Chains A and B, each alone.
Chain A
Amino acid sequence: MQAAEMNAIRAAEGLLALSQQEELVDLPNCPLSASEDEGDSDGERKHQKLLESIGSLNGKNRWKLAERSEASLKVSEFNVSSEGSGEKLVLSDLLEPVKSSSSLAAVKKQLSRVKSKKAVELPLNKEEVERIHREIAFNKTSQTLSKWDPIVLKNRQAEQLVFPLEKKQSDFVPIEHVFSSWKPRTPLEQEVFNLLHKNKQPVTDPLLTPMEKASLKAMSLEEAKMRRAELQRARALQSYYEARARREKKIKSKKYHKIVKKGKAKKALKEFEQLRKVNPIAAMEELEKIEKARMMERMSLKHQNSGKWAKSKAIMAKYDLEARQAMQEQLAKNKELTQKLQVVSENEEDKGAEEEELLVPDVVNEVQMCADGPNPWMLRNCNSDAKGEIQEEPEQPPKPMVQEFSESEDDERTGTEEEILLQEFEERRSLRKRSELNQDAEPVGSQETKDSSSQEVLTELKALTQKLNKKKHQSRKQKMSSAGTVLQIQREECAPEEEEPLLLQRPERAQTLEDLEDLGHEEFSQNKEFPRPVLKGEQTERNPNNQIDAPKGKKKEEMIDLQNLLTTKSPSVKSLAIPTAIEELEDEEEKHQKQIIKEAFAGDDVIKDFLKEKKEAVEASKPKDVDLTLPGWGEWGGIGLKPSAKKRRRFLIKAPKGPPRKDKNLPNVIINEKRNIHAAAHQVRVLPYPFTHHKQFERTIQIPIGSTWNTQRAFQKLTTPRVVTKPGHIIKPIKAEDVGYSSSSKLDLSVTQSNPKRPTGHRKKQLKKNTVD
Chain B
Amino acid sequence: MKVKMLSRNPDNYVRETKLDLQRVPRNYDPTLHPFEVPREYVRALNATKLERVFAKPFLASLDGHRDGVNCLAKHPKSLATVLSGACDGEASVRIWNLTKQKCIRTIQAHEGFVRGICTRFCGTSFFTVGDDKTVKQWKMDGPGYGEEEEPLNTILGKTVYTGIDHHWKDPAFATCGQQVDIWDEQRTSPICSMTWGFDSINSVKFNPIETFLLGSCASDRNIVLYDMRQATPLKKVILDMRTNTICWNPMEAFIFTAANEDFNLYTFDMRALDTPVMVHMDHVSAVLDVDYCPTGKEFVSASFDRSIRIFPADKSRSREVYHTKRMQHVICVRWTADSRYILCGSDEMNIRLWKANASEKLGVLASRERAAQDYNQKLKEKFQHHPQIKRIANHRHLPKSIYSQIQEQRVMREARRRKELNRRKHSKPGSVPFVSERKKHVLAVVK
A residues neighboring B (CB under 8 Å): 130-131, 133-135, 137-138, 140-142, 144-146, 148, 152, 155-156, 161, 163, 681-685, 688, 697, 700-702, 704-711, 715-716, 718-721, 723, 725-736, 744-745, 747-749, 751-753, 755-759
Contacts and interface: CB of A to CB of B under 8 A. Distances in A.
Contact of A711 (B28, B208, B374): B28
A705 B374 CA distance: 11
Contacts of A711: 26, 28
A567 B40 CA distance: 64
Q: Which 9 A-B pairs have the closest CB atoms?
A: A731-B294, A733-B208, A733-B250, A704-B36, A749-B170, A748-B212, A688-B385, A138-B234, A730-B337
11 contacts: A133-B232, A152-B252, A155-B296, A163-B295, A710-B28, A716-B371, A720-B374, A723-B295, A749-B191, A752-B172, A752-B228
Nearest to A686: B385
Contacts of A744: 210
A730 B338 contact: yes
Interface stretch (B125-133, B344-352, B376-384, B416-424): B376-384
B235 A138 contact: yes
Interface of B: 26, 28, 30, 33, 36-37, 39-41, 43, 76-77, 79, 167-172, 182, 184, 191-192, 208-213, 225, 227-235, 250-255, 270-271, 294-297, 314, 337-340, 364, 371, 374-375, 377-379, 382-383, 385-388, 447
A705 B378 contact: yes
A134 B224 CA distance: 11
A749 B171 contact: yes
B414 to A, nearest CB: 21
Contacts of B231: 752, 755-758
A731 B191 contact: no
A145 B191 contact: no
B387 to A, nearest CB: 7
Given A138-B234, A733-B250, 8 more contacts: A134-B235, A138-B447, A163-B295, A701-B383, A706-B379, A708-B36, A729-B338, A745-B211
B379 A141 contact: no
Nearest to A684: B385
Nearest to B234: A138
Nearest to B339: A725
A141 B231 CA distance: 12
Nearest to A729: B338
Given A138-B235, A706-B43, A682 B386 contact: yes
A567 to B, nearest CB: 55
Contacts of B235: 134, 138
A539 B31 CA distance: 60
Contacts of B168: 733
Contacts of B171: 749
A719 to B, nearest CB: 4
Given A709-B28, A725-B340, A137 B41 contact: no
A745 B210 contact: yes
Nearest to B373: A721
A145 B255 CA distance: 10
A145 B252 CA distance: 10
Given A704-B40, A752-B229, A756-B191, A148 B385 contact: no
Contacts of B271: 142, 145-146
A572 to B, nearest CB: 64
Contact of B40 (A681, A705, A716): A705
Contacts of B230: 137, 140, 755
B253 A148 contact: yes
A144 B234 CA distance: 13
Contacts of A710: 28
Nearest to A680: B387
B232 A684 contact: no
Nearest to B24: A712
Contact of B33 (A138, A682, A708): A708
Contacts of B255: 152
A731 B337 contact: yes
Contact of B447 (A135, A704, A747): A135
A681 B447 contact: no
Nearest to B43: A706
A710 B39 CA distance: 14
Count chain B CB atoms within 10 A of each CB in A152, A701, A730 and give the residue with the most.
Answer: A730
Nearest to A735: B209
Contacts of B251: 152, 155, 733-734
Nearest to B335: A731
A763 to B, nearest CB: 10
A723 B209 contact: no
A753 B250 CA distance: 26
A734 B209 contact: yes
A685 B337 CA distance: 41
Contacts of B76: 730
Nearest to A722: B297
B184 A753 contact: yes
Nearest to B269: A145
B211 A748 contact: yes
Contact of A148 (B26, B234, B252, B375): B252
A715 B40 CA distance: 14
Contact of B294 (A144, A163, A759): A163
A749 B228 CA distance: 8
B295 A161 contact: yes
Contacts of A718: 378
A599 to B, nearest CB: 45
A760 to B, nearest CB: 12
A748 B214 CA distance: 12
A125 to B, nearest CB: 16
Given A152-B251, A155-B251, A685 B339 contact: no
A140 B231 CA distance: 13
A755 B194 CA distance: 13
A163 B293 CA distance: 12
B386 A683 contact: yes
Contacts of B250: 731-734
A709 B29 CA distance: 8
A705 B295 contact: no
A129 to B, nearest CB: 11
A684 B387 contact: yes
A756 B191 CA distance: 5
Contacts of A701: 37, 382-383
B172 A163 contact: no
A748 B169 contact: yes
Nearest to A700: B382
B379 A721 contact: no
A709 B337 contact: no
A748 B170 contact: yes
Nearest to A133: B232
Contacts of A725: 295, 338-340
B388 to A, nearest CB: 6
Contact of B388 (A138, A681, A731): A681
A459 B211 CA distance: 101
Contacts of A163: 294-295, 339
Contact of B386 (A135, A684, A748, A757): A684
Given A155-B251, A727-B340, A706 B375 contact: yes
A704 B34 CA distance: 11
A721 B383 contact: no
A272 B50 CA distance: 95
A145 B41 contact: no
A699 to B, nearest CB: 11
Contacts of A681: 387-388
Nearest to B226: A137
A752 to B, nearest CB: 5
Given A137-B230, A163-B294, A752 B192 contact: yes
B234 A745 contact: no
Nearest to B313: A156
B344 to A, nearest CB: 20
Contacts of A141: 210, 213, 227, 234
Given A145-B270, A755-B231, A719 B374 contact: yes
A403 B12 CA distance: 65
Contacts of A749: 167, 170-172, 184, 191
